[in-house]
Amino acid sequence: MSPSRRLVRWALLAVLTVPSLASAQLYNQEKESPRNHQIEIKFGPYKPSLYAKGASNTPYDSVFGGSSMFIAKLEYDYQFFQKGGSLAVGFEMGIASITGDGLVAGTSTASTDETKFRFVPFSVSLVYHMDLFATKWDVPLVPYVKVGFDYVVWWITDGVGDIAHYKDPKTGEDFEGRGDTWGYHVAAGLKILLDVLSPSMARTFDVEVGVNNSYIFAEFLYADISDFGSGGSFNLGAITGLFGLAFEF
Amino acid sequence: MLRLLPILASLVLLPGLAGAQFITVTQARAFNGSTTEDVRFVTTKEYAIGKRACEKYLGLASASACSASASTPTADAGSTDAGVLADTVAATDAGSDVAALDATGADAKGGAPGKEDAASAWKLRITVNVTGLTNPELYKLGVAAGPNCPTTMPDKSTDDCTLAYEATLLGLTLNGREYEIPMKYLLGSACDTSKSSYVRFYFKWTGVAAANADKEDKVLFELDYDAPELPVIDSLQPGEGNLKVAYTDPNDSTEKVKTFGVYRGTAPFTFATLESSGASGSTGVTANPYQLTGLANGTVYYVGVTAIDQAGNESELCDPNELVTGTPIAVDNFWEAYKGAGGQEKGGFTWCFVATAAFGSPMAGEVQRLRTLRDRVLRADAGGRALVSLYYRVGPEAARIVTDHPWLRPLARTLLWPVVLSAVLLLGAPLLLGTSLAGLTLALRAVARRRARRTA
């Protein structure tokens, strides 16, 4: 790389960064209201690893065309420790859904019957936010990690919208297509403090509404939701990325 | 003297109702002495009457659009000519055969009912609210029906407008007053030509404040005897125990098609053979495509679609060739595809997480408390009983998971503790529950105060 191009690159970085740092500094000069809570709204694709155990082929791909589900989640964190970052306990609830075409029996041909797969995940997490960058060093970035347990209620509907049933051709036993599955997750992400874009507006938001900080964030999620490795369960876990907004108050 | 009582009462109870006058029709229904049914409501002050309803109200034989026969009278209910009757009304000034059902305050000139007023004849029963009449003031109320009634109270009936009711009233607020008008005044004597017809209400001031402008209000009845055209079936897609029919409505907006009828049978049918062929159908359909459910896979079904307009006229299925056939097929939904491919998930819920496995013994105190919760609380209502039933279906599976993974026991106990605690609070210690809630409230208030001080 030529010296002139390198200079331009550094100059560009400085132009982009310095105002943010200055704004963060300005913002932090003013006294904030106490903050103990955080709410996150996040969305993203979600493709459960349904066939890690049990199934011999990939009916998920056949029925849903290999598409990911869409998942939306709402999380509430209560920060109970705030030294060297913040430690919180988080409670989360979401919903994921996908619709596909049923297969003409015994074939891989799509029919006009719709079949839906939906689940509602609940989780409890221990959350650590490394917010020293933002609070001490005026860098508007907050990395974080989460670890916790999940409880997922799921159900599958048939072509007329009823809960699906499967009758074992050998035993005649009827299995209903709904249930719940337990699991665990770990997640890591990075939040970008939005307050630096408009410190005065952020201050007003704090004074009038009590919201100290607003973030956008991206989160990497690994979830294993298979009744802790039980061979007789769906694995509703996935490796995915979620994106969202967070408000700290 | 008795007739004066309402007037005297009104003088005492309703003084000075001066102001703007309003007349509002709140309801129009058909009534034949024993049966009351709604007339199809279109919008405020607008109703629609279709061919079948018209034929019923006039006592005419129903004429199918599939046949060339015209409507023919089957009863004598409407045999008296409305115009003659109206002339009689005008000539005698004796009111009419219209019953003002709530004649409070009225000096109605009631006459002997005509023979068409037999109890079984269909009438239009209209409920009216009138407000803002000046009291005490005399006015004349007139009710006329027909396709061509003038905007001011007519002196007598004409061919197109029957003066159905006339009375001298004292100013009152007439909320919920009902009038019954023979249907033939509105419909005429045959259901053959679509037209608009009206019921008009007139107020003509005759008292001391006769300078009051006369008031008039009308209710429109669209007499629509034309059935819309049959929709075209575009496709009939088979599914598991169902068929999805997609169709196109060829009618333009003037037909005012509101809903559709979808009919099915296992043999060809027309409207004439609907019942005998065992076919059935649903009306009021708005979905397109529409899914016919509850069908048998492998059975051939004949399907027809009709259009229904706002007056209730339905296009008729006259020819079996207008039907389309389809055969439901077996389809694997996602659950069946998964299970068929060897998936081991069995479904069912483990919400209670099998306390016995978690706490190590069925006699553990925590398990006993959960049992009590089950028996006293959950089994007390249907929702709770369903939960208990579900638990007993999936309990063994959940127990197996916890038993297979001993390291899960501490986790299961941890997760179950909130449930056990809830059981304790719900069952044995309402006082403790109250104390806890009070403590929580006080703690939250203290935190809020501290935060407020710090903010200040």
Provide the token pair at B446.
Answer: 């203290």
**Is there a contact between A34 and B338 if contact means CB atoms under 8 Å apart?**
no
Give CA separation, A193 vs A87, A216, B125, in Å: 18, 7, 69
A-chain residues near B241 (CB < 8 A): 159-160
**What is the per-residue pLDDT for B406?**
74
B-chain residues near A203 (CB < 8 A): none
Q: Are A127 and A77 in contact (CB under 8 A)?
A: yes
Whether residues B364 and B390 fall in one domain: yes
Residue A168's identity, in one-letter code, is D
Nearest chain B alpha carbon to A33: B455
A-chain residues near B394 (CB < 8 A): 179
Q: How far apart are CA B426 and CA B191, in angstroms?
A: 69
Q: How far is A180 from chain B (nearest CA, A)?
A: 5
Q: How far apart are CA B49 and CA B292, in angstroms?
A: 29
| B455 occurs within a structural domain | no
Whether residues B394 and B414 fall in one domain: yes
Of B242, B329, B346, the CB nearest to A175: B346
B-chain residues near A113 (CB < 8 A): 239-240, 242, 331, 333
**Is there a contact between B334 and A156 if contact means CB atoms under 8 Å apart?**
yes
Q: Are B45 and B34 in contact (CB under 8 A)?
A: no
Radius of gyration of chain B (CA): 35
Residue B28's identity, in one-letter code, is A
* Residues contacting residue A99 through CB under 8 Å, at least 6 positions apart: A64, A114, A115, A116
The count of domains in chain B is 3
**Is there a contact between A177 and B333 if contact means CB atoms under 8 Å apart?**
yes
Provide the token pair at B314.
Answer: 């339905």
B-chain residues near A234 (CB < 8 A): 343, 345
Provide the token pair at B76.
Answer: 């004598």
**Is there a contact between A102 and B333 if contact means CB atoms under 8 Å apart?**
yes
**Is there a contact between B342 and A234 if contact means CB atoms under 8 Å apart?**
no
Q: Are B373 and B423 in contact (CB under 8 A)?
A: yes
Q: What is the ipTM of this complex?
A: 0.82
A123, HSE (Cβ side, Cα atoms, 13 Å): 28
**What is the per-residue pLDDT for B247?**
96
Q: How far apart are CA B337 and CA A174, in angstroms?
A: 14
Whether residues B219 and B269 fall in one domain: no
- What residue segments make up the domains of chain A, in order of their start? 3-248
DSSP label at A194? G
A-chain residues near B411 (CB < 8 A): 149
Query: Among B173, B200, B223, which residue terminates a domain?
Result: B223
Instruction: Write out the residue range of the structural domain in which residue B281 sits.
Output: 232-326
Domain A3-248 falls under CATH 2.40.160.20: yes
Query: Among B193, B223, B253, which residue terminates a domain?
Result: B223
| B318 occurs within a structural domain | yes
Residue A44, beta-bridge partner list: A71
Say whether residue A63 is in contact with chain B using an 8 A CB cutoff. yes
3-state secondary structure of A205: helix
Q: Are B55 and B63 in contact (CB under 8 A)?
A: yes
Whether residues B182 and B265 fall in one domain: no
State the Cα angle at B428 between B423 and B431, rounded to 5°.
Answer: 110
Whether residues B253 and B219 fall in one domain: no
Q: How many CB contacts within 8 angstroms connect chain A with chain B?
A: 152
Whether residues B24 and B70 fall in one domain: yes
Say whether residue A103 is in contact with chain B using an 8 A CB cutoff. yes
**What is the per-residue pLDDT for A208?**
80
State the Cα angle at B147 between B142 and B150, rounded to 5°.
Answer: 45
Nearest Cα to Cα of residue A50 among A73, A66, A31: A66
The set of long-range contacts for B406-413, using a CB threshold of 8 Å and a minimum separation of 24, is B408/A228, B408/B358, B409/B357, B409/B358, B409/B360, B411/A149, B412/B353, B412/B354, B412/B355, B412/B357, B412/B358, B413/B358, B413/B359, B413/B366
Q: How far apart are CA A154 and CA A117, in angstroms?
A: 8
Q: Are B427 and B377 in contact (CB under 8 A)?
A: yes
Stretches where chain A sits below pLDDT 50 are: 15-27, 29, 52
Give the full edge-to-edge strand order of the sheet including B242-248: B232-239, B242-248, B290-292
Residue A100's identity, in one-letter code, is G
Whether residues B293 and B359 fall in one domain: no
* Placement of tokens 């997490």 in the chain: A125
| B393 occurs within a structural domain | yes
Whether residues B206 and B240 fall in one domain: no
**What is the per-residue pLDDT for A62?**
87
Sign of CA dihedral B97, B100, B101, B105: negative
Residue B196, beta-bridge partner list: B222
**What is the per-residue pLDDT for A115?**
95
| B342 occurs within a structural domain | no
Radius of gyration of chain A (CA): 23
Q: Are A120 and A181 in contact (CB under 8 A)?
A: no
Q: How far apart are CA A74 and CA A47, in angstroms?
A: 19
B399 alpha-carbon distance from chain centroid: 50
* Residues contacting residue B319 through CB under 8 Å, at least 6 positions apart: B270
Interface test with A, best of B237, B244, B293, B331 (most A CBs within 10 A): B331
Of B339, B344, B348, the CB nearest to A53: B344
| B66 occurs within a structural domain | yes
Residue B440's identity, in one-letter code, is L
B-chain residues near A230 (CB < 8 A): 401, 404-405
Q: A197-212 in b/e burial notation, b at 16+ Cβ within 10 A?
A: eebeebbebbeeeebb
Give CA separation, B323 vs B60, B270, B329, B414, in Å: 30, 9, 19, 63
Q: How far apart are CA A237 and CA B156, in angstroms?
A: 83
Secondary structure, 3-state, chain B: CHHHHHHHHHHHHCCCCCCCCEEEEEEEEEECCCCEEECEEEECCEEEECHHHHHHHHCECCCCCCCCCCCCECCCCCCCCHHHHHHHHHHHCCCCCCEECCCCCEEECCCCCCHHHCCCCCEEEEEEEEECCCCCCEEEEEEEEECCCCCCCCCCCECCEEEEEEEEEECCCEEEEEEEEEHHHHHCCCCCCCEEEEEEEEEEECCCCCCCCCEEEEEEEEECCCCCCCCEEEEEEEECCEEEEEEECCCCHHHCEEEEEEEEECCCCCCCCCCCCCCEEEEEECCCCEEECCCCCCCCEEEEEEEEECCCCECCCCCHHHCEEECCCCEECHHHHHHHCCCCCCCECCCCCCHHHHHCCCCCHHHHHHHHHHHHHHHHCHHHHHHHHHHHHHHHHHHHHHHHCCCHHHHHHHHHHHHHHHHHHHHCCHHHHHHHHHHHHHHHHHHHHHHHHHHC
- pLDDT one digit per residue (tens) for chain B, 456 residues: 444 444 334 333 333 333 455 677 788 899 988 889 999 998 888 999 999 999 999 998 876 667 644 343 333 333 333 322 222 222 223 334 444 443 333 334 333 334 445 567 899 998 887 776 665 677 788 889 999 898 888 888 888 899 888 888 776 666 777 888 889 899 988 898 999 999 988 878 776 665 567 778 888 999 999 999 999 999 999 999 999 999 999 998 888 898 999 999 999 999 888 888 899 999 999 999 999 999 999 999 999 999 999 999 999 899 999 999 999 999 999 999 988 888 888 887 765 545 556 665 555 666 666 767 666 666 666 777 777 677 666 666 666 677 677 777 777 777 777 766 666 666 655 555 566 667 777 777 777 777 676 666
Whether residues B66 and B183 fall in one domain: yes
Q: Pseudo-torsion of CA B102, B103, B109, B111, nearest 10°?
A: 40
**What is the per-residue pLDDT for B140?**
82
State the Cα angle at B398 between B396 and B399, rounded to 5°.
Answer: 65
Nearest chain B alpha carbon to A159: B240
Sign of CA dihedral B227, B232, B235, B236: positive
Whether residues B180 and B105 fall in one domain: yes
Where does residue A172 fall: left (phi above 0), alpha (psi -120 to 50 degrees), or beta otherwise? Answer: left
Q: How far apart are the first and last CA of chain A?
A: 46
What are φ and ψ of residue A31, in 5° steps? Answer: -75, 130
Q: Are B148 and B23 in contact (CB under 8 A)?
A: no
How many CB atoms within 10 Å of residue B340? 19
Whether residues B296 and B193 fall in one domain: no
B-chain residues near A103 (CB < 8 A): 331-332, 337
Whether residues B318 and B422 fall in one domain: no
Of B291, B338, B345, the CB nearest to A59: B338
Of A34, A103, A112, the CB nearest to B244: A112
CATH assignment at residue B290 = 2.60.40.10
Residue A120's identity, in one-letter code, is V
A32, HSE (Cβ side, Cα atoms, 13 Å): 21
